[in-house]
Every structure is written in C-alpha cells, then in structure tokens.
C-alpha cells in the first residue's frame, strides 16, 4: 500500500482514482482523515460530531468490496462529512439548536442516502447555524466554525463547518445545501469552489417544509474538477451531460457574454458598502474572464423593492413551524427566537402572498439576466467577518459560548450587507458558482460569483476550471 503521508496533497479526483485502483486502502485513507480531524478540529470547530468507529467499520467493508473484484461505486471509500442539518442514520441531528433533543436519526436523509449509495464514508457531522438560518456558523451547542485562513474569522454559513473541513484538509470535498447562499457564502469565505445547482437538478437536496423551493444541494471543493466529480454522484444518470460532469469539465466554453452587476435586491432596505477587497476580487475576475476570451460588460439589473420582505417571510416560515417544547424556547438564539415569533404571527395568506410575489420576481429577474450568458459580481461584499461580529456577542474569545447581544434585526442586517448577491439566485432557481480568484494582503481568500442560465451547471464548472488554469 502507498505511504499515506502523500494523501494530503491529492485532489479528490486523484484520491478517488487511487482508491479505485487499490493504490490506497479505504482503511488507511479513513485513518488519515480522522487523524487530520483530530489534529485540526479543536482549533477550527468544523465538526460537531466525529463518527470514527462507524467510519472505520465502513472502511473495512469497502476494502472487502474492493478485494472481491466486482464493480465499485463512483465514490468508493471517499471520505465525506454532512452538515448537521442532514440526517445520517444512528447519528444525532442537532440542527445547531440547544432547544431540540439530540436523538440519533432513525434513517439516512435523502442526501446522505444518495452519497452513501455512491460509496462514500461519512466521518461525522459539521457545524451549522441554528436551523441553517444565518451566513455564519455559530450556535449555542458547540464552538463556532472558524476560518482555516484566519481562525479569528468565520467560515461562513450555513455550510460553514463543511467548508472549513474541506479548506483545512479534513475531508477531500463535501456536499453543502444552499437556500439563500449557504454553499456560496462559505465557499467565498474559505477559498473554495462552491456550486449551487439550479432548482431540481439534485433531487436529494430539496428541503422539507420549503414552500418557496429555495434549498438545493451542491458541492464544496478545492477545484472545479473535484466539484464536478461530486456532481456526478449527486445528479441522477439521466440528467447528467453526456459522459458526466467530470469528463467534460476541461472543455472550455468560448465567447460568453458576461454582465457585471453590483445591484442587489437588498440595497433599498440595507444600503451596503462594498469593501475594497471585494472590488479587487471582481477586477481580477474580469481580467481572467477577458483573458479566457469572454466579453465582459456592465449589466444594470432592476430589482423590485418588495423583495426583502417577501424573501424574509418565505425564508423564516419553516422555523415558525418547528416542533420546540415551550419550556425550551428560551434556549433558541435571539435571531431564531425573534424570527420564529414573527413567523407564527404571520398569517397563511401573508405567506402565500409572499410566495406569489417571489414567483413574479423570479420571472422578471430571469428575463433581465437572459440578455447575458452569465451575471458576474463578487461572492461577498466584505472579507470574512470576525467570529461574533454578526451577533455583537462575546463568543469570539476562548470563553465559549459567551454572550449573545440579542439584536436580531441588526444581526440580519449585517448578514444581508455581507452577502447581498446570494438569496435572489435561490428565488430564481438558477445555478451559480463561487470561484476563488484573489488573496488579500493579509492572506484572506476572496472570490467571484457567476450566475448562469437554467441548465448551465457544467458551463459554470468549465469556466471555473479555465480560470484555475489561468
């Protein structure tokens, strides 16, 4: 068997190939990544739960399958992690909330079932914000998920723990879920490729109680090719491009019309400042895209100013119906408690009115985007934020969980100012990708976001791969 000291330098694609060929065993690969988790998680808080014993049992079974000489699944013995909103059989799903009883899930959720069926070995559950509601992964049940590039800063949310785990080499790649930016925000913060597929492309990513059909699952990875490999596992065979995503990711599209827009549907309610680092990343992205032969021009997009109220109503409707014992409500974070109360006070007619508006918003916005092949903007308006910055609390210190300041509206405002170009993509059901293109003087990653047309997931990955090459 190979010396596992070299595993850390392997891409997910190369690791998959080494496992399939028997150059590495499932056991030694699993032991390697568990060792990395043991070394680094105490400083980064990426994992809430590590399932080492079960992972090693699964690895033994994977090695026996390989020894049998039969066909292997696509992701044979590949380690992964699931964010702690996804049910994994036998493992508690905390939803990041101290208000819930943390009982082991009786069976796998659809996303875990899909990837286990493709041969993956789950190593544990990763940190999330309470009920996945926020753009940072801090809660009252475990230490905050920290950014591997600067541990005093957040790794983003709501797939923040998974993004930190990938960026820190604790897993080769990971699935995230995205209902308002939850793949692209942590990808931007942690220097990863993060693809939010279009609505319905990954059936196992749909969220229960998601009336607005906002939530989808997609890959968090270090490279476009690694993300393409995970897409091949997530998308049903009949819905994949001929040959699959990975086989086609190296084919560079040419002559795309890219529209640059800094307009945001949140600007009317929360006028935001774009940091110089975000402008720098955008400038790099434009230069790379033009260097790849694409045409980049300004795009003025007009958004309906009723969007913030309608999106917030749809986004928070689910938490209003969450089953929480009355005596445990006080254990919710201030933001969750506030938005839960408002959701419960909102009539069904008001929610339906919001949903109807969002469908019209989708139609109008997609029609404007259609003048270009892709729409470009920074992934985030600011550098990754310090731990505790959104809540105004004291849990940026070594004393955890610290105090939560409790101003839910200020918290929400800061999130919308930090990630003003995320949620409208979910409402429109379009695919979008965050691509790392820039590093600040202090070593923080910054990225760009490209929003594609319906069905352009492969094209987005191809553009990301071409920018990597440049």
pLDDT for 194-209, tens place per residue? 999 999 999 987 766 7
State pTM to two decimals.
0.97
Instruction: Considering the candidates 150, 158, 423, 466, report the single residue annotated as catalytic.
Output: 158
User: Helix/strand/coil (H, E, C) string of 215-255?
Assistant: CEEEEEECCHHHHHHHHHHHCCHHHCCCCCHHHHCCCCCCC
Q: 299-354: per-residue pLDDT in tens?
A: 999 999 999 999 999 999 999 999 999 999 999 999 999 999 999 999 999 999 99
Q: Which residues of the chain have pLDDT under 70?
A: 1-5, 207-208, 393-406
Domain count, the chain: 1
Contacting residues for 61 by C-beta, under 8 A, at least 6 apart: none
Give me the DSSP letters along 328-342: GGGGS-HHHHHHHHH
DSSP category for residue 9: G
* Cα 124 to Cα 375: distance, rounded to the nearest angstrom: 36
* Cα 84 to Cα 91: distance, rounded to the nearest angstrom: 10
* Cα 328 to Cα 27: distance, rounded to the nearest angstrom: 42
The boundaries of the domain holding residue 291 are 4-469
Q: Is 158 a catalytic residue?
A: yes
Q: Is 422 a catalytic residue?
A: no
- pLDDT for 208: 66
- pLDDT for 402: 52
Helix 457-469 crosses helix 276-291 at what angle (to 10 degrees)?
90
* Cα 370 to Cα 301: distance, rounded to the nearest angstrom: 11
Instruction: Considering the candidates 182, 264, 422, 466, report the single residue annotated as catalytic.
Output: 182
Q: Counting beta carbons within 10 angstroms of the beta carbon of residue 404, is it exposed (0 to 12), middle (13 to 18) or buried (19 or more)?
A: buried
Tokens of 171: 């897993």
- pLDDT for 396: 44
12, 226 contact by CB (below 8 A)? yes
Domain with 192 in it: what CATH number? Answer: 3.90.1300.10
Using alpha carbons, select from 188, 191, 196, 176 the residue that is nearest to residue 222. 191
- pLDDT for 397: 39
Q: Which residues in 24-130 belong to E strands, given as ranges?
A: 47-50, 79-83, 121-126
Instruction: Considering the candidates 25, 83, 423, 466, report the single residue annotated as catalytic.
Output: 83
- DSSP reduced 3-state for 59: helix
Torsion of CA 231, 232, 238, 244, to 10 degrees: 110
Q: Is 222 a catalytic residue?
A: no
């Amino acid at each position: 068997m190979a010396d596992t000291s070299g595993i850390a330098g392997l891409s997910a694609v190369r690791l998959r190939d080494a496992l399939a060929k028997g150059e590495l065993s499932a056991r030694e690969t699993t032991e390697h990544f568990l060792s990395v988790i043991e070394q680094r998680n105490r400083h980064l808080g990426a994992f809430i739960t590590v399932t080492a014993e079960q992972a090693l049992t699964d690895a033994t079974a994977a090695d026996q399958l390989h020894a049998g000489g039969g066909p292997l699944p696509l992701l044979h013995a590949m380690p992964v992690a699931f964010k702690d909103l996804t049910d994994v059989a036998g493992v508690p799903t905390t939803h990041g909330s101290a208000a819930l009883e943390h009982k082991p899930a009786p069976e796998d959720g659809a996303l875990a079932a899909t990837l286990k069926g493709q041969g993956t070995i789950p190593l544990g559950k990763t940190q999330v914000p309470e009920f996945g509601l926020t753009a940072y992964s801090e809660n009252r049940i475990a230490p905050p998920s920290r950014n591997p590039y600067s541990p005093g800063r957040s790794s983003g949310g709501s797939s923040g723990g998974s993004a930190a785990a990938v960026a820190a080499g604790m897993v080769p790649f990971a699935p995230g879920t995205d209902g308002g930016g939850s793949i692209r925000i942590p990808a931007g913060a942690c220097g990863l490729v993060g693809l939010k597929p279009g609505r319905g492309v990954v059936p196992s990513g749909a969220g229960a109680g998601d009336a607005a059909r906002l939530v989808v699952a997609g890959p968090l990875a270090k490279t476009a090719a690694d993300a393409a490999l995970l897409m091949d596992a997530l998308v049903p065979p009949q819905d994949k491009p001929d040959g699959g995503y990975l086989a086609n990711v190296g084919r560079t599209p040419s002559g795309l019309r890219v529209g640059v827009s800094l307009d945001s549907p949140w600007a009317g309610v929360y006028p935001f400042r774009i940091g110089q680092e975000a402008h720098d990343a955008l400038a790099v992205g434009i230069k790379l895209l033009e260097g790849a032969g694409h045409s980049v021009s300004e795009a003025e997009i007009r958004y309906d100013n009723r969007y913030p109220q309608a999106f917030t109503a749809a986004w928070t409707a689910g938490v209003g119906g969450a089953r929480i014992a009355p005596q445990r409500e006080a254990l919710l974070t201030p933001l969750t408690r506030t938005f839960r109360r408002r959701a419960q006070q909102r009539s069904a007619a008001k929610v339906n009115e919001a949903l109807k508006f969002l469908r019209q918003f989708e139609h109008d916005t997609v029609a404007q985007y259609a003048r270009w092949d892709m729409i470009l903007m920074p992934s985030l308006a600011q550098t990754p934020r310090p731990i505790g910055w959104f809540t105004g609390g004291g849990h940026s210190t070594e004393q955890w969980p610290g105090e939560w300041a409790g101003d839910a509206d200020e918290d929400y405002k800061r999130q919308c100012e930090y990630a003003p170009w995320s949620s409208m993509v979910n409402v429109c059901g379009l695919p979008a990708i965050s691509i790392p293109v820039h590093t600040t003087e202090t070593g923080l990653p910054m990225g760009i976001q490209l929003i594609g047309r319906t069905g352009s997931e492969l094209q987005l990955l191809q553009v990301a791969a071409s920018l990597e090459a440049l």
